[in-house]
C-alpha cells in the first residue's frame, strides 16, 4: 500500500516534469517565432483560467475528453488499441439526436432515452471492431481507424442529405434541438452545462471499476492471453465487454456534445477529440484520477491556446507541438520505467 502511494506520487511528479519540459520547448519555439514566451504563456494561462467564464470553457472541453479518455483507458488496460474514439462519439451523437429531432417526446423521457441511445451507438461501433477481432482476428487498430472514417462520412451524408436543416441556408448541419431538450446551463453567461453531472458520475464509477471482478479480468487480459486463460478468464468475452464499455463512454461523449454544446449534428462533430483523449489516457497512467488531471491540463491548453492565438502573434501550432511532445516524452519514459514493458523488464531481471 505504502509503495503504491509512493509510486503514484512518483508517476505524478514525472508527469508534471514531462509537461514542464514540453512547455519549455514550447517557450523556445515561441521565442523563435519572435514573440515573448512569458507574455504568450500568461495569455494562455489567463485564457484558460483567468475568469469563471474561461474556467467554464475548460470544463466544457473536459467533459468529452475525460469521458473518452476513461473509455480508452479500459480498452488500453486490456491492450486493445481502440483508436476509434472519434467514430464512436459520432455514432453515439447520431443515434442520440434522432429522437430529439423526430419524436417530440417529453423531456423527462427524451433525455434518458437519448443518453442510452448514445451509449448503445458508441458501444456497438466499438463492439463491431471487437467482434471482427474475436471472429476474424482482425487487428483492432485498423478496424477502429476505418470505422472512424465510415462514421465521419456517414455523418457527412446525413447532414448534407436526409438530415440537413431545410432552413439552414445549405449549411451541412441538422435542425436545432428544441430548447426544452438542451441540457440545463448553470449560468446564462457560461456554457458549462448539466452534462458535467453525468461526467462526474462516470468518473466516480471508474474509481471503483478497477476493483470489480470485471475490472480485474480486463487487467488480466492486458497481461497476456495466456495469463488470463490460466486465471480462468474467458478472453474473447472479456475483450468484447471491454470494447463495448470503451465505446459506450465515447458514445456518451457524443451525447454531451449534441445535447450540451452544439444542440445539433454538424460536420466534424468530434473535432479530433479522439487523439487527444488517447494522449490523456496515457499521460494519466490509465488511472481515473490521473486521467481527470491530465484532461484538465489538456483542456486548459486547448482553451488557453485558442486565446493565445487570438490575442498574440504566437501561432497555434505551438500548442499542437506541446501536445505532441508531451506524449512523445511520456512513451519514451514509459518504455524505460513504467507501464507496458514492465513484464518484459521483470523478465530481463530474471534472465540477468
Check residue 25 for interaction with other proteins (CB under 8 A).
no
Residues 270 and 86 sit within 8 Å (Cβ to Cβ) = yes
Count of positions on this chain that bind other proteins (CB under 8 A)? 53
- Output phi, psi for 266, to 5 deg: -145, 160
Among 66, 143, 173, 174, binds other proteins (CB under 8 A): 143
Residues 227 and 220 sit within 8 Å (Cβ to Cβ) = yes
Check residue 307 for interaction with other proteins (CB under 8 A).
no
Which one, 108 or 136, has the nearer CB to other proteins? 136
Residues 144 and 272 sit within 8 Å (Cβ to Cβ) = no
Residues 243 and 124 sit within 8 Å (Cβ to Cβ) = no
Alpha carbon distance 220, 229 (integer Å): 9
Which one, 153 or 208, has the nearer CB to other proteins? 153
The DSSP string of 245-284 is HHHHHHHHHHHHIIIIIISS-BTTTTTTHHHHHHHHHHHT
Question: Of 160-219, which residues contact other proteins (CB under 8 A)?
Answer: 160-161
Q: What is the residue whose three cell numbers read 490521473?
A: 290
Find the part of the chain contacting other proteins (CB under 8 A) among 8-16, 51-59, 250-258, 310-318.
Answer: 310-318
Cell of 262: 452544439
How far from chain centre, in Å, is Cα 256?
12
Find the part of the chain contacting other proteins (CB under 8 A) among 63-71, 139-147, 178-186, 289-297.
Answer: 139-147
The DSSP string of 6-43 is HHHHHHHHHHHHHHHHHHHHHHHHHHHTTS-HHHHHHH
| In the complex, least distance from residue 77 CB atom to other proteins, rounded to whole angstroms | 13
Q: Residue 272 class from Cβ within 10 Å (0-12 exposed, 13-18 middle, 19+ buried)? A: exposed
Among 10, 237, 337, 347, binds other proteins (CB under 8 A): 347
Check residue 306 for interaction with other proteins (CB under 8 A).
no
Check residue 44 for interaction with other proteins (CB under 8 A).
no
Cell of 159: 447532414
3-state secondary structure of 193: strand
Residues 192 and 59 sit within 8 Å (Cβ to Cβ) = yes
Q: Residue 302 class from Cβ within 10 Å (0-12 exposed, 13-18 middle, 19+ buried)? A: buried
**Stretch 65-104: interaction string toward other proteins, x if CB under 8 A:** ----------------x-x---------------------
Check residue 318 for interaction with other proteins (CB under 8 A).
yes
Check residue 153 for interaction with other proteins (CB under 8 A).
yes
Which one, 203 or 331, has the nearer CB to other proteins? 331
Check residue 336 for interaction with other proteins (CB under 8 A).
yes
Question: Of 216-255, which residues contact other proteins (CB under 8 A)?
Answer: none
Which one, 94 or 110, has the nearer CB to other proteins? 94
Check residue 295 for interaction with other proteins (CB under 8 A).
no
Question: Of 98-137, which residues contact other proteins (CB under 8 A)?
Answer: 132, 136-137
Check residue 146 for interaction with other proteins (CB under 8 A).
yes
Find the part of the chain contacting other proteins (CB under 8 A) among 44-52, 112-120, 200-208, 277-285.
Answer: 277-285
Check residue 149 for interaction with other proteins (CB under 8 A).
yes
* Contacts to other proteins by CB under 8 A: 29, 32-33, 81, 83, 132, 136-139, 141-143, 145-147, 149-150, 153-154, 156-157, 160-161, 275, 278-279, 282, 315-325, 327-328, 331-332, 334-336, 340-341, 344, 347-348, 351-352
Amino acid at each position: 500500500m505504502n509503495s503504491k502511494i509512493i509510486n503514484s506520487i512518483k508517476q505524478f511528479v514525472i508527469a508534471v516534469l514531462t509537461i514542464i519540459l514540453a512547455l519549455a520547448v514550447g517557450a523556445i519555439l515561441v521565442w523563435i517565432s519572435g514573440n515573448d514566451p512569458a507574455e504568450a504563456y500568461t495569455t494562455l494561462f489567463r485564457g484558460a483560467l483567468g475568469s469563471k467564464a474561461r474556467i467554464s470553457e475548460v470544463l466544457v472541453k473536459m467533459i468529452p475528453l475525460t469521458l473518452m479518455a476513461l473509455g480508452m483507458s479500459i480498452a488500453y488496460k486490456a491492450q486493445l488499441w481502440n483508436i476509434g474514439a472519434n467514430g464512436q462519439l459520432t455514432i453515439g451523437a447520431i443515434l442520440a439526436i434522432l429522437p430529439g429531432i423526430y419524436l417530440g417526446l417529453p423531456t423527462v423521457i427524451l433525455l434518458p432515452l437519448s443518453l442510452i441511445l448514445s451509449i448503445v451507438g458508441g458501444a456497438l461501433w466499438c463492439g463491431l471492431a471487437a467482434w471482427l477481432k474475436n471472429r476474424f482476428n482482425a487487428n483492432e487498430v485498423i478496424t477502429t481507424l476505418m470505422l472512424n472514417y465510415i462514421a465521419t462520412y456517414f455523418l457527412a451524408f446525413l447532414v448534407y442529405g436526409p438530415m440537413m436543416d431545410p432552413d439552414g441556408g445549405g449549411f451541412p448541419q441538422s435542425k436545432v434541438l428544441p430548447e426544452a431538450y438542451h441540457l440545463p446551463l448553470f449560468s446564462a453567461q457560461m456554457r458549462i452545462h448539466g452534462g458535467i453531472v453525468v461526467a462526474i458520475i462516470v468518473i466516480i464509477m471508474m474509481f471503483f471499476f478497477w476493483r470489480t471482478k470485471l475490472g480485474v479480468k480486463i487487467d488480466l487480459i492486458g497481461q497476456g492471453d495466456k495469463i488470463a486463460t490460466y486465471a480462468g478468464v474467458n478472453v474473447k468475452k472479456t475483450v468484447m465487454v471491454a470494447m463495448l464499455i470503451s465505446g459506450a463512454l465515447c458514445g456518451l461523449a457524443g451525447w454531451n456534445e449534441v445535447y450540451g454544446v452544439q444542440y445539433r449534428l454538424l460536420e466534424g462533430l468530434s473535432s479530433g477529440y479522439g487523439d487527444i483523449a488517447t494522449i490523456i489516457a496515457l499521460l494519466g497512467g490509465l488511472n481515473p484520477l490521473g486521467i481527470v488531471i491530465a484532461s484538465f491540463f489538456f483542456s486548459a491548453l486547448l482553451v488557453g491556446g485558442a486565446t493565445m492565438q487570438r490575442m498574440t502573434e504566437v501561432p497555434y501550432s505551438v500548442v499542437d507541438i506541446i501536445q505532441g511532445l508531451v506524449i512523445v516524452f511520456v512513451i519514451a519514459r514509459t518504455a524505460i520505467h513504467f507501464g507496458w514493458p514492465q513484464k518484459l523488464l521483470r523478465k530481463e531481471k530474471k534472465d540477468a
